[in-house]
């Protein structure tokens, strides 16, 4: 990759990651029994600027929008915009996502609501999914164990709280381990993505390199990327990494394809995305979720780009409500059958 | 007491000996038969109702089906409630305290992002600079160093009242000079 391309890619990543115009956003979905959903978006910003292009979650003029101002004890001003709308179903939410022109417009998101009648209870499921961005990356579960995965998906405030609370040293060490493993995972994903895209780009060309021989070099590429560390940019720009991997001849012949594949892989590894949080309030009693439940029964998930790189990020919650009429009908039926059995026994006697 | 009994027996004896005749004996007969018939009808009605409602107890396959359905219903109820209880208990174990409402960046990440943002915000869109990774790293290190020194200096001024007054005075003078200009 030449210097300009690398810089452009890095600049793009920085723009995605650093843009401070994006408000801190929490989306709350209140799910009702009939499948309708009341969606509330709360955006907080240090400036009174809520440009559509900076928003993580879409909303439009059909929403009820309220603006307010919060001033902390220190005198810091926070501008708060709240938007609220009742949707008749998840289809309407999905249509809104399709028409999104905000900062996260490139990421596919969709919601699903399922209602299952189970006689004594009715089960409600709500899922919001963010589709994966990479095509050939590895699953994070191959690198982290269940406990580490739980930590990886934890909201930042829980991590910070643990790192600063009791056993802080233990938690910091644990976090460092996860950071290292995550870094390794990302390098592997980047290598895999680059190899597959590179193989696609050079396929059909004369003296092309087979995907098998490229895949055999995946470990080498990961090692080179890891080893190069902060100097990766310059080493790639000077063609040192690619020459080390493919040899002088192939590096010279497929230099453009290698740069293009690197751009694609980098854009998939660092998608344009601004973090936010999702909350769900389910009808009835909550029975299952992969989110974080607080004492008030509210479920929340942080939504970060690293969560949906190689697998869709599914935020799901299940709840149940009791069907009292079914309980009464079943009770009467049981009494009826039991009476019949008793009568028969009496008459037999 | 014995006098009373004697009197009663005497009266009964007199009535028996007088042989009283019933003017319409068939009436009482009809009344008794009617009474017995009504009682039988009521009892037959209840029995009929029971037979209608519980007629299935005499049909083997219906009886077995009803008992089977009742058992299945009971088993489903027990299973569903046990499952619900298990799910709720497992969730209760996972309840966490979420103190902050907004997603926060962790300190290290925040520091890195802020630093780079501060640098990037100083570069206008029309201006181009070219620096390599090591220069950027060096720049970031010196920036952090400078920031640390500034913080230390600021703390020293805040803690020392004399120094604070001195600086305030100096700043006022600078402001006065500015306005004169």
Transcribe B84-115 into DSSP letters. Answer: HHHHHHHHHHT------SS----HHHHHHHHH
Handedness of CA A240, B140, A269, B125 (dihedral sign): negative
Cβ–Cβ below 8 Å for B73 and A14: no
Order of strands across the sheet that contains A313-322 = A109-118, A121-130, A313-322, A285-289
| pTM of the shown model | 0.69
Flag whether residue B91 sits within 8 Å of chain A, measured between CB atoms: yes
Q: Which residue, among A186, A78, A192, A57, has the nearest Cα to A136 in the 3D structure?
A: A192
- Select the residue of B58, B99, B117 nearest A161 (Cβ to Cβ): B99
CB neighbour list of residue A148: distance below 8 Å, 6 or more residues apart: A174, A177, A178, A181
Q: What is the pLDDT of residue B108?
A: 43
Cβ–Cβ below 8 Å for A293 and B91: yes
- pLDDT over threshold 60, residue B127: no
Q: What is the pLDDT of residue A1?
A: 40
* Placement of tokens 């100096």 in the chain: B170
| Chain A residues in contact with B97 (beta carbon < 8 A) | 294-295
Q: What is the pLDDT of residue B101?
A: 44
- Select the residue of A26, A338, A344 nearest B101 (Cβ to Cβ): A26
Domain boundaries, chain B: 14-93, 107-180
Alpha-carbon gap: A212 to the closest alpha carbon of chain B (Å): 33
Alpha-carbon gap: A160 to the closest alpha carbon of chain B (Å): 6
CA distances from B13 to B8, B68, B72 (A): 9, 70, 73
Instruction: Round to whole Å and give the CA distance between A37 and A64.
Output: 15
Structure confidence at residue B115 as a pLDDT band (50, 70, 90)? low
Alpha-carbon gap: A295 to the closest alpha carbon of chain B (Å): 6
Query: What is the mean pLDDT, run by run of 10 residues, along chain A of 349 residues?
Result: 43 46 89 96 89 89 90 82 95 94 93 95 96 93 92 87 84 90 92 92 84 89 84 83 86 88 90 92 91 80 93 94 94 93 84
Geometric angle at alpha carbon B152, from B148 and B158, rounded to 5°: 140
Flag whether residue B67 sits within 8 Å of chain A, measured between CB atoms: yes
Is residue A172 within 8 A of residue A180, CB to CB? The reply is no
Handedness of CA A276, A129, A318, A178 (dihedral sign): negative
Instruction: Round to whole Å and give the CA distance between A324 and A330.
Output: 10
Backbone torsion region of residue B37, taken as left when φ is above 0, otherwise alpha when ψ lies between -120 and 50, otherwise beta: alpha
- Select the residue of A18, A330, A344 nearest B57 (Cβ to Cβ): A344
Identify the closest residue of chain B to A41 by CA–CA distance.
Answer: B102
Flag whether residue B85 sits within 8 Å of chain A, measured between CB atoms: no
Maximum mean pLDDT: which of A157-161, A172-176, B4-8, B125-129: A172-176
pLDDT, chain B, mean: 76
Q: What is the pLDDT of residue A16?
A: 44
| Chain A residues in contact with B49 (beta carbon < 8 A) | none
Structure tokens, B55: 């007629």
Identify the closest residue of chain A to B62 by CA–CA distance.
Answer: A337
Is residue A192 within 8 A of residue A138, CB to CB? The reply is yes
Render pLDDT for B17-75 as a digit per residue (tens, 0 to 9): 887 777 777 888 888 888 887 777 888 888 888 888 888 888 889 889 999 999 999 99
Alpha-carbon gap: B174 to the closest alpha carbon of chain A (Å): 27
**Residue contacts between A and B (CB atoms, under 8 Å):** 118
Is residue A278 within 8 A of residue A29, CB to CB? The reply is yes
Flag whether residue B46 sits within 8 Å of chain A, measured between CB atoms: no
- Select the residue of A158, A275, A330 nearest B98 (Cβ to Cβ): A158
Ordered DSSP codes for A133-198: S-SSPPPGGGTS-HHHHHHHTS-HHHHHHHHHSTTHHHHHHHHHHHHHHHHHHHHHHHHHHHHHHH
Cβ–Cβ below 8 Å for B69 and A44: no
Alpha-carbon gap: A213 to the closest alpha carbon of chain B (Å): 32
- pLDDT over threshold 70, residue B80: yes
Cβ–Cβ below 8 Å for B106 and A161: no
Torsion of CA A91, A96, A100, A106, to 10 degrees: -10
| Strand A299-303 to A37-45 pairing | unpaired
């Amino acid at each position: 990759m030449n210097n300009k391309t690398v810089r452009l890619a890095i600049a793009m990543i920085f723009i995605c990651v650093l843009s401070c115009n994006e408000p801190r956003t929490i989306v709350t979905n209140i799910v009702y029994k009939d499948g309708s959903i009341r969606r509330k978006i709360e955006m907080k910003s240090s400036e009174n600027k809520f440009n559509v292009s900076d928003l993580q979650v879409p909303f439009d003029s059909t929403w009820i929008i309220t603006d307010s101002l919060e001033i902390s004890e220190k005198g810091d001003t926070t501008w708060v915009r709240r938007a609220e709308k009742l949707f008749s179903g998840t289809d309407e939410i999905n249509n809104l996502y399709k028409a999104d022109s905000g900062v996260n417009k490139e990421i596919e998101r969709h919601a699903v609501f399922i209602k299952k009648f189970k006689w004594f209870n009715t089960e409600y499921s709500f899922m919001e999914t963010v589709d994966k961005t990479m095509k050939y990356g590895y699953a994070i579960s191959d690198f982290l164990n269940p406990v580490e995965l739980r930590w990886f998906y934890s909201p930042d405030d829980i991590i910070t709280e643990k790192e600063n609370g009791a056993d802080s040293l233990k938690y910091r060490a644990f976090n460092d381990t996860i950071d290292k493993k995550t870094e390794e995972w990302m390098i592997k994903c980047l290598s895999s993505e680059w190899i597959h895209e590179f193989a696609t780009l050079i396929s059909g060309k004369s003296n092309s390199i087979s995907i098998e021989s490229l895949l055999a070099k995946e470990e080498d590429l990961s090692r080179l990327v890891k080893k190069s560390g902060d100097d990766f940019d310059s080493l790639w720009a000077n063609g040192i990494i690619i020459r080390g991997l493919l040899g002088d001849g192939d590096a010279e012949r497929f230099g453009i394809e290698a740069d293009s594949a690197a751009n694609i892989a980098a854009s998939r590894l660092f998608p344009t995305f601004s973090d936010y949080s999702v909350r769900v309030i389910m009808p009835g009693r909550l029975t299952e979720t992969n989110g974080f439940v607080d004492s008030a029964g509210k479920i929340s998930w942080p939504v970060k780009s690293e969560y949906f790189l190689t697998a869709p990020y599914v935020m799901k919650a299940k709840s149940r409500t009791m069907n009292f009429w079914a309980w009464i009908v079943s009770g009467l039926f049981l009494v009826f059958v039991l009476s019949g059995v008793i009568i028969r026994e009496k008459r037999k006697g | 007491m014995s006098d009373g009994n004697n009197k009663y027996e005497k009266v009964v004896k007199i009535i028996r000996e007088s042989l009283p005749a019933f003017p319409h004996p068939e009436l009482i007969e009809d009344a008794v038969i009617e009474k017995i018939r009504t009682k039988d009808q009521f009892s037959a009605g209840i029995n009929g109702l029971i037979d209608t409602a519980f007629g299935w107890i005499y049909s083997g396959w219906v009886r077995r089906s009803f008992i089977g359905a009742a058992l299945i219903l009971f088993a489903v109820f027990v299973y569903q409630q046990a499952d619900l209880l298990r799910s709720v208990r497992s969730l209760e174990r996972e309840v966490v305290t979420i103190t902050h409402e907004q997603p926060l960046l962790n300190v290290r990440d925040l520091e890195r992002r802020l630093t780079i943002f501060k640098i990037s915000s100083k570069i206008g869109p029309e201006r181009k600079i070219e620096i390599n990774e090591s220069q950027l790293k060096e720049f970031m290190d010196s920036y952090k160093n400078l920031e640390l020194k500034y913080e230390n200096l600021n703390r020293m001024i805040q803690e020392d009242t004399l120094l604070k007054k001195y600086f305030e005075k100096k700043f006022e003078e600078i402001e006065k000079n500015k306005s004169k200009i």
